[in-house]
Amino acid sequence: KPYCYTEDGDGTGHFYGHGAVSANIADQVLGRLGFDGEIRAKIAELVKYHDVDFKESHRSMRRWLSRLGPEQMRRLLEVRRCDIWGQNPQLIRERTEEISRFTSILEEVEAEEAHFRVRDLAVSGADLIKIGYTPGRGLGEALRGLAAMVEDGRLHNERVSLLEEGVPATCC
């Protein structure tokens, strides 16, 4: 944070961009401590976005979910909740209520999108093309069929299972 310190005309200190700078520092330190790349990336991402201003809307939450995924989004909200306790005590109640509202929106969006989607599959259209599918309507139908089988519990969302068991059931 000190690397980003600036003062405005009134002498008030600000730390613009400290999230990104702190994320880089966290990544370097975690690397020196021997953490693997996946853990480092997740932690650096939380540090980077820990103070971002969320809009209280389903649309905004869907964008954040698309960027971070539900598990990481929950972690980020918890990091923010903890960060609030280290800030102005007069604002703790208001800001924790804000985090509670964001959490409620997250739960609502997750409930709306609880069904399994093609983009959640462990295989892609490119994988099916490699085994003989041609781009077009049939490819899309095959992917939707696989997603339906995963959602129904007939298949596990694992690459091998989808390609060996699922594709013949949806193929040609």
pLDDT of residue 166: 82
| Residues of the chain under the 50 pLDDT cut | none
Apex 82 CA angle, 109 and 46, nearest 5 = 60
DSSP 87: S
pLDDT (tens digit, 9 = 90+) per residue, 112-161?
Answer: 766 667 888 999 999 999 998 889 988 988 998 898 888 777 888 899 98
Q: Where are the domains of the chain?
A: 1-50, 52-114, 118-170
The pTM score is: 0.62
pLDDT of residue 115: 62
